Amino acid sequence: MAVNETPHKNILFPLIAILLLGLPWVLQSAYSLHLMIMVGLMVVLAASNRLVLVSGAWFMGHAAFYAIGAYGVVLLRSKAGLDYWTALPLAGLMASLVAFVLGYATSRVRGIPFAIISVAFVEVVRLTIIKIKWLGGHKALTSPPPEPLLGIDFSSKIEYYYFILFLVLITLFILYLIENSPAGAALKTMAANEELAESLGINTTRYKVFTLTLCAFFGGMAGGFYAPYVAVTGPTSFTLNTSILILFNVVVGGMGSLWGPVVGAVFLTLLPEVLPGQAGIQNILYAGVVLAVLFFLPRGIVDLPNRIRLAAGRRKGGKLA
Amino acid sequence: MGLEGPAHAGGGLLIVMFVLYGQVVVNGLVSGLIYALTAAGFSLIYGNAGILFFAIGDAYMLGAISFYYLIAVAGLPYPLALLAVLVLLGLLGVILEAVIFRRLRGNDLTMAFASLAIGLLMAGIALEVFGEQGKGLPSPFPGRFKVLGIMLTWDKVVIMGASLIILSGLHAFFKATRTGRAIRAVSQDLDAAMLMGVEVNFIKALTFFMALGVAGGAGALVTPLYYADVFMGPPVLMTTLIVVVLGGLGSYPGAVIGGLLIGLIESFGYTFIGGVTTVLMFLAVIALLIFKPQGLLGRE
């Protein structure tokens, strides 16, 4: 089957590239472009969250890194007077630094206790922002658009679209390299059995800290992108709900492959657009879809072609018999 | 004469402090008992089914909202409405266990995600039916009285009394009945319990019945004091997580003790240091889990 797919992929990738690059000219309304930008943002968040999940740690606190990135960029610009292009990587590094400390401190904690730590961590970050006026408090902060870079000025959604596309590609490229390196194999062993991994000489603490730190960097960058894009950023954007939404994107797409979060982000970002009704009905249907995927496609939507092929094969087999 | 003045003032100050602290203690006990109920629900599910049940806050919210309907729309008397909420939410728990969690058994992460989706589903239903606006109930037991200088309202007394009855009822059930002991057996060692002939599906369904029942009951109890509204779930979920970490994950007595302690800590904290209390509690939770992953009073 893998042999079969190769020629497809050779045509598929350039096609996707052309499609992604040309999208702003195809999409007529600013709103459709906005949706694509939100898809890209979610890909960065979900793909990086998945990296930690792959190592076997139930990390549910990505909203915290997202918040640190967003507030980092806003504060570094307004309080330290940095320009956006310096502030953005610095905000990513800030999130990484926090993740590094958190990762080391919690390296012995697994499973549900780790999940609760990550949930508490979201609350600590959110409440700290609310309680410290200097950081913004309850108020929403405004973030001006990025300074022009290489003559490109961020006056319309098109620039943001290419910017997030660039971030998505970098994120996926780095995650792809990790996954297909010895580190990727080590992570999978850890997820399957942490004791076994340790007895094989895998330094599980180092891998845990590494995945969390990298995950935080991407989350921070995503937050740094989000702040000027939406212009107004408040603590309500970074609640446990945000974390949960990111996780839904990972599991609905499929945790087993790097394409899972991509598929999940496209599917779940566009889903509310086709769902009828008000917020209540939308939430009901959205939750229903997530539950249905958990039930019938436990490996996510990326597993769907496989399932169909299997089902078709079974039918064929039945006829032969 | 010269000595009497300050001494008198000192005595007065003591009485004022006692009154103030007493009030803080009462408020802490009221919310502590409510947390004890939601944490007991959470711990039952965690202990018996190993599920990180995120929907406990939304079960609490649904309890409040259905209580509102049973009283304001259906006109049920207060005790009957409370009983109805316990049963209704309990049945919802049974349905969730039988339809969803039974089929996902063995996959802990998927079950946790499912509970997140169920929480979203419950919130969606509540939003659709009940609307965004919070709704209050008239106090069923109006009136107040003073004990030792502490002002008590009958509402608070009823909340404390009812939660104590529910909690001690559960306790007696675990200790004294065969089924109760079977529930504890399942939470201690599932395989051994199965070998002893414990009907695991029944026990799990019963666990969900009690868990969602008590959480819903907690929501019903606070409704006359506050409002029933769609957004009351997540904050209670967060406090419940603090409580179960303090009390030990999956421990029923730990949930009760932890609930009371957190209620008191919160009440004193808000009085003396303000909203920072919550940040400190979450930091304490992280620190506690790093050093004792099963919680302060939990077993390894």
- What's the complex ipTM? 0.84
Phi, psi of A193 (to 5 degrees): -165, 105
Residue A127 and residue B279: Cβ atoms within 8 Å? yes
User: Which pLDDT belongs to residue A39?
Assistant: 93
Whether A112 and B289 lie within 8 Å, measured CB to CB: no
A249-280: per-residue pLDDT in tens?
999 998 888 889 999 999 989 888 887 777 78
| pLDDT surpasses 90 at A219 | yes
Residue A59 in 3-state DSSP? coil
Say yes or no: A124 contacts chain B, CB-CB below 8 A: yes
Residue B244 burial (CB < 10 Å; 0-12/13-18/19+)? buried
**Taking CA atoms, what residue in B is nearest to A102?**
B286
Query: In the predicted model, what is the mean pLDDT of chain A?
Result: 84
Mean pLDDT along residues A164-174:
91
Spell out the per-residue pLDDT of chain B, length 300, in tens: 444 455 566 667 666 766 678 888 888 899 999 999 999 999 999 988 888 999 999 999 999 999 999 998 888 888 899 999 999 999 999 999 999 998 888 788 889 999 999 999 999 999 888 888 888 888 777 778 877 777 788 888 888 999 999 999 988 888 888 888 877 777 777 777 777 767 778 888 999 999 999 999 999 999 888 888 888 988 999 999 989 888 888 888 888 988 998 998 888 888 888 878 888 888 888 888 888 777 666 554
**Contact between B28 and B268 (Cβ < 8 Å):** yes
Task: Tell me whether residues B117 and A291 touch, CB distance under 8 A.
Answer: yes
pTM above 0.90, yes or no: no
pLDDT at A1 over 50: no
CB contact under 8 A, B120 and A131: no
Q: Which residues in A lie closer than 8 A to residue B112 (C-beta atoms)? A: 58, 112, 115
The predicted structure's pLDDT at residue A318? 52
| pLDDT: which is higher, A68 or B22 | A68
Q: How far is A41 from chain B (nearest CA, A)?
A: 22
**Mean pLDDT across A138-160:** 78
Eight-class DSSP state of A144 = P
**Could you state, in order of their start, the residue ranges of all structural domains in chain A?**
15-320
Inter-chain residue contact A294 with B113, CB threshold 8 Å: yes
Among chain B residues, the shortest Cα distance to A254 is held by: B110
3 state SS for B74-98: CCCCHHHHHHHHHHHHHHHHHHHHH
Q: Which of B126, B129, B289 sits opposite A117 (nearest CB)?
A: B289
Residue B168 makes CB contacts below 8 A (sequence gap 6+) with none
**Position A90 confidence tier, pLDDT thresholds 50, 70, 90:** very high
* B165/B178 Cα distance (integer angstroms): 20
Task: Give the closest of A58, A109, A288 to B293, CB-based.
Answer: A109
Looking at chain A, the whole-number percentage of residues with pLDDT higher than 70 is: 94
Question: Who wins on pLDDT, A59 or A9?
Answer: A59
pLDDT score of A304: 82
Lowest-pLDDT choice from A84-93, A132-141, B28-37: A132-141
More confident residue, B3 or A61: A61
Show residues of chain B in contact with A124, CB under 8 Å. 279, 282-283, 286
pLDDT of res. A264: 92
Residues on chain B touching A285 (C-beta within 8 angstroms): 124
Contact flag A244-B289 (C-beta cutoff 8 Å): no
Contacts B107 to A, Cβ<8 Å: 298
DSSP string, A28-42: -SHHHHHHHHHHHHH
Looking at the complex, report in whole angstroms how far the Cα of residue A9 sits from the nearest Cα belonging to chain B: 31
Average pLDDT over residues A189-210: 78
The pLDDT, as a whole number, for residue B7 is: 53
For chain B, where are the alpha helices, taking DSSP H only? 4-49, 56-68, 78-95, 102-104, 108-130, 154-176, 178-188, 190-195, 200-222, 233-247, 252-272, 276-291
Given pLDDT bands bounded at 50, 70 and 90, which one contains residue A10?
Answer: low
Average confidence (pLDDT) over A193-214 = 81
CB of B64 closer than 8 Å to CB of B85: no
Chain B residues within 8 angstroms (CB to CB) of chain A: 46, 50, 52, 54, 100, 103-104, 107-110, 112-114, 116-118, 120-121, 123-129, 234, 238, 241-242, 245, 249, 275-276, 278-279, 282-283, 285-286, 289-290, 293-295
A295: which chain B residues are within 8 Å (Cβ-Cβ)? 100, 103-104
Residues of chain A with Cβ-Cβ distance to B238 below 8 Å are: 119, 123, 240
Query: B32 and B262 in contact (C-beta within 8 Å)?
Result: yes
Return the residue of B nearest to A126 by Cα. Answer: B279
List Cα–Cα distances, A6 to A18, A68, A156, A310, B158, in angstroms.
Answer: 19, 41, 38, 20, 70
Distance from CA of A124 to the nearest CA of B (A): 5
